[in-house]
Chains A and B, each alone.
Chain A
Amino acid sequence: MSHEQYKILSKRFGRRDAHKLAVYEAEGGYAALRKALQQGREKVIEEVKEAGLRGRGGAGFPTGVKWGFVPKDAETVYFMVNADESEPGTFKDRFLMDYDPHLVLEGSIISSYAVRASLCVIYIRGEFGWLIDRMQAAVDEAYAKGYLGKDILGSGYDLQVIVHKGAGAYICGEETGLINSVTGRKGQPSIKPPFPAVQGFLDKPTVVNNVESVAAVPHIVTNGAAEYRKFGTEKSAGTKLFSVSGPVRNPGVHEIPLGLPFKEFFHDWLGGMADGEKLKAVIVGGSSVPVLTADEAMGIDLDYESCGAAGTMLGSGGMIIIPERCDMVELIQVLMHFYWDESCGQCTPCREGTGWLHKLVRKLRRGEGTAEDLALIEKVCEGMAGLTICPLSDAAVMPMRSFLQKFRSEFEALVAGEDQDGPQTRWAREYRS
């Protein structure tokens, strides 16, 4: 099948034995680490820069460039792997850690080596309890085999790895929030400057990369930048894991070449909608990006630039397929509840605004909303966007604004008093406290 050729990160998905070190080694595992240690860190950074790997957590920042921000004379450097995957719709990092923990680990070790980190913290969200066990087992195996610890493979490079368990906070997926969490504080993001690459964990240079980003590093080291660039576009190089949810025939994690047209992805990979379902809208990259109508989605390619041009973002690659039967106001209420739950509470616009938006949408759904409330929603969004320490505020505003803008008639219907779905009344009134 032509899709097989793209399985670089996901080639071991679904297997029951691939998490074992012996299996991983037998299939070429840790050869990349050996090569990296031989090549030297400058070459590794250069290769990753050349490859054009971009951060796969959602921000899309060039990974090699981020590595380059670490001051060359830094005595202590930290590397952290962001496995806090909590963006609604996103479940790809989980698959990587589940089926290929050693790939993630090897990539982490090489990345740590590249930035001269002495400690690598793999921060896994607390809800992934079984994955934490899995990663810890892989780490233990790696230590025993000499891929971790002192003088790795005789290179003189020392690296300690800690598998750190989160405890239920989406905001720890923000890199400074993650760092503060590891420090033993609440996972609240820090103001910048200072920037983590210069002054992060314990005031030392710290680089934070997403699980999928580090998982791509062994392939780049082994096969080179040009090989990596075989797939993808000029500015969006390589493959990306898309975790797809919603009533399509083939939901789940798909590894695609960036630049793949959504239309093709939808029909050939996802098999189109399941029986009896019709496409209404698409959230392309996790709930925090603007929603696209079905028509808009059909017109985009799945890469950073094309999504940006279409007024949305590639984000985390957490794709949510919304069928015709869904009430968009009900869905936005679900999302506004999420951001209200997850706001860390530091910045006033986000802390108060997420609560306000949630209450306004709930008010609409209870049939108590007015036309002024629709204008008020936009006003609240304006008081939140671009005014805070971290982008959670914007992450709430982007879906809110885009849902309101593109499906306005559904909001207006509620104002006019046509309760579109009777049984929802109790739900809206009592469930969404």
Chain B
Amino acid sequence: MAQEQTMVTVKIDGQELQFPAGTLLFDACREARGEALPHFCYHPDLPVAGVCRLCQVEVEGMPKLTIACNTTVRDGMVVHTRSERVRKASQQILEMHLINHPVDCPICDQAGECGLQDQYMNYGLYESEVEKRDKVHKAKAQVIGPHVILDKERCVLCSRCVRFCDTVTGTSELGIFQRGDRAEIGIAPGKELSNAYSLNTVDICPVGALTSRDFRFKKRVWLLKSTRTVCHGCATGCSVRVDHEGDRIYRLKPELNREVNGPWMCDQGRLTYRSVHSEKRLAAPLLRRDGGQVEVPWAEALAAVKEAGAPGAWIASPQQTLEELALFAALAGDAPRSGGVSTAGRGEGDAILIDADKTPNRAALDWTGLPQHDAGALIGLIKGTKGAVLVYGGDPAAEAEGFLAAVGGRPLIYLGTHRNATSEAAAVVLPVSAWAERDGLLVNRQGRVQASRRAVARPEQAREDWRLLADWLRESGAEDAPAGLPALRRWVAERVPAVSGLDLNALPAAGAVPAGAASGAGGER
């Protein structure tokens, strides 16, 4: 819109600042103070409740303190967020939140990322005057759905979870029953918190009332490091963060990306971290020998690949990154190639975030000249070639009936991460990196290029995909084969017209859609 935005002048804690008209005082205060006002119930993506009463500030001219989350800035407003009156009120209201709160910290997963702990350390630090015997007790450790467990006693009744289920998923499984200090969060008997986004309630719960069953008692949060990356569960490509200790991933959480997923992600996506540590991981190179597959050193496996000769058919998959696919296509040269089975990796989508395409990078296959084929066409392609068949990711042996018969006795070489039908039929298996173990670019359903990041180390014997491919490219005579990740991305930009206008080494955090790129259904809601 070309309209000029009216600005208003507001004084916060002595600082005079300008804000666009209509700015929420809560946001204005955060900007002025450099940190948010204390709060539990306010959330920018949920309707305002105004019930926790913590974000109250002094606005000159108003007799009572005002909640900043429900106030819009007005020109000339004078606000105090750190006055004695406000500080005292914050402390008193915080104390009210704690009088019936169980001191579960030693056994509560929320410890270390708990709103009550944080607020108490910031401005509580008082002596409790509540009689323990008078505390209100409520039900604890109640499984309320496949992914979420509820502790009613810890709940501070901020109502975020209820508002989430009412307005984001529209499923309304949660309610606050009864009134007064008997009020408690819950579900209807016989019902479950089973919507596809239930774990977001765990994210937004400021305390340990709603916690993840998957994460329960596994790791103290202060031991975790976080790496921002992209979910590989479907073509939406939500921004996520991988929380890991050392090389073990413990959970995924969404990262805010206003262009893609807002602050949310789906439950299925959250659990994709499990595949990284699956017992089906290919841990070492394998050669077919004596009717079975035996582990061999890399040198021996690579020698076997050389001996098999230049592959006559090159088959990739939409699980690979843009760089990996570009290298693969360059290696294939003029030989028949495919992006894999077009019907594989399809499921159900919804109107919120989940895409029916369960692969993270199908759009990049077209950009790199690796079109997909349906089962019949793929088999036809194979039959029309001679020599080794090189499969990179995916599982065509399971996805296309007759694939193995079509390959016949030809050497089948598999580059992949997990044991599957194709790997088990292969003559040579080369283990490479799982999605959280390597850097790479993905193209989502919006045509948005996003950077996926390495969070944990790959297994000792697994290789970094792009280096392996680049080495082969160099060995085949290409002098310009890239030798480092930045160089790789420049190399990709030169060869993939769709991204030629982007600086792939400096993408914004929310990713970028190249001008003119196809954009399917998408965008965060």
Contact = CB atoms under 8 A, between A and B. Distances in A.
A343 B182 CA distance: 10
A305 interface: no
User: Which 7 A-B residue pairings sit nearest by Cβ, starting from the closest?
Assistant: A383-B92, A345-B183, A191-B50, A355-B181, A343-B180, A352-B96, A345-B179
A379 to B, nearest CB: 8
A362 to B, nearest CB: 9
Contacts of A372: 129
A418 B53 CA distance: 40
A388 interface: yes
B56 interface: yes
A354 interface: yes
Contact of A344 (B134, B136, B179): B179
Contact of A382 (B70, B92, B156, B179): B92
A354 B181 contact: yes
A376 B157 contact: no
A389 B92 CA distance: 16
Interface in A143-179: 169, 171
A355 B131 CA distance: 12
A387 B130 CA distance: 21
Contacts of B95: 383
Contacts of B179: 169, 171, 186, 342-345
Nearest to A351: B181
A340 B183 CA distance: 12
Contacts of B157: 345-346, 348, 351
B53 A340 contact: no
Interface string A105-133: 00000000000000000000000000000
Contact of B182 (A186, A345, A363, A387): A345
A349 interface: yes
B65 interface: yes
The residue among B159, B178, B180 with the most chain A CB atoms within 10 A of its own CB is B180
Given A191-B49, A343-B181, A386-B64, 9 more contacts: A345-B181, A346-B51, A348-B97, A349-B93, A351-B180, A351-B183, A352-B96, A379-B129, A388-B53
Interface string A322-362: 00000000000000000011111111110111111001000
Interface in B16-56: 48-53, 56
Interface of A: 169, 171, 186, 191, 193, 340-349, 351-356, 359, 363, 372, 376, 379, 382-384, 386-389
Interface in B120-145: 129-131, 134, 136
Nearest to A356: B99
Contact of B96 (A186, A193, A383): A383
B509 interface: no
B81 interface: no
B67 interface: yes
Tell me whether chain B's interface is mostly helix, strand or loop, or mixed. loop
B136 A349 contact: no
Nearest to A389: B50
A30 to B, nearest CB: 40
Contacts of A382: 92
Contacts of B51: 346-348, 389
A340 B67 contact: no
A359 B136 CA distance: 11
Contacts of A352: 96-97, 99-100, 181
B300 to A, nearest CB: 67
Interface in B172-210: 176, 178-183
Contacts of A343: 179-181
Nearest to B89: A387
Tell me whether chain A's interface is mostly helix, strand or loop, or mixed. helix
B181 A349 contact: no
A399 B314 CA distance: 84
Contacts of B183: 345, 351
12 contacts: A191-B50, A345-B179, A346-B49, A352-B100, A353-B96, A355-B180, A355-B181, A356-B96, A356-B99, A383-B96, A387-B89, A389-B50
Nearest to B88: A382
Contact of B129 (A346, A347, A376): A376
A393 to B, nearest CB: 10
Nearest to A376: B129
B39 to A, nearest CB: 12
A277 to B, nearest CB: 34
A348 B93 contact: yes
Contacts of B180: 340-345, 351, 354-355
Contacts of B182: 345
Contacts of B100: 352, 355
A108 to B, nearest CB: 29
A188 to B, nearest CB: 8
A387 B93 contact: yes
A387 B52 contact: no
A191 B67 contact: yes
Given A191-B48, A352-B100, A383-B92, A347 B53 contact: yes
A387 B65 contact: yes
Given A341-B180, A348-B156, A191 B70 contact: yes
Nearest to B159: A346
A379 B127 CA distance: 13
Contacts of B53: 347-349, 387-388
A347 B55 CA distance: 12
A345 to B, nearest CB: 4
A193 B48 CA distance: 11
Contacts of B131: 359, 363
Interface string B59-103: 000001101001000000000000000000100110111011000
